[in-house]
Amino acid sequence: MKDLIVVATITAREGNEALVRAALEQVVPPSRAEAGCKRYDLHVDLGNHASFVMLEAWRDAEALAAHEATPHFQALVEAIGGKADIQILKLNQVL
């Protein structure tokens, strides 16, 4: 079975760039430590420092669901709610 890939694009709203970045940085270490996590990498757009991309790979949908229920992920949602625009793609590899 192929990994479940998540590409999350998070764009901080004006004036919230530092807060959003700090919240994203905090969620990385505990997320990487989760049993079903294969990749959890935070990137910043070189042309727009308010735009972040989280590239994730999970063992399966159940591992992702468990991640989304963790206290550290819920704290992220709370911290950036209303302070960023978020687009999430959940992908399965075709080839």
Query: Residue 47 maps to which CATH number?
Result: 3.30.70.100
d(CA 20, CA 51): 10
Percent of the chain whose pLDDT exceeds 70: 99
Write out pLDDT tens, residues 58-67: 999 999 999 9
Specify the pTM.
Answer: 0.94
| Cα three-residue angle 21-22-26, rounded to 5 degrees | 115
Percent of the chain whose pLDDT exceeds 90: 95
Contact 91, 56 (CB under 8 A): no
pLDDT-derived band at 95 (thresholds 50, 70, 90) equals confident
pLDDT in the model for residue 66: 98
Per the structure, the count of domains in the chain is: 1
Domain that holds residue 85: 4-92
Write out pLDDT tens, residues 47-83: 999 999 999 999 999 999 999 999 999 999 999 999 9
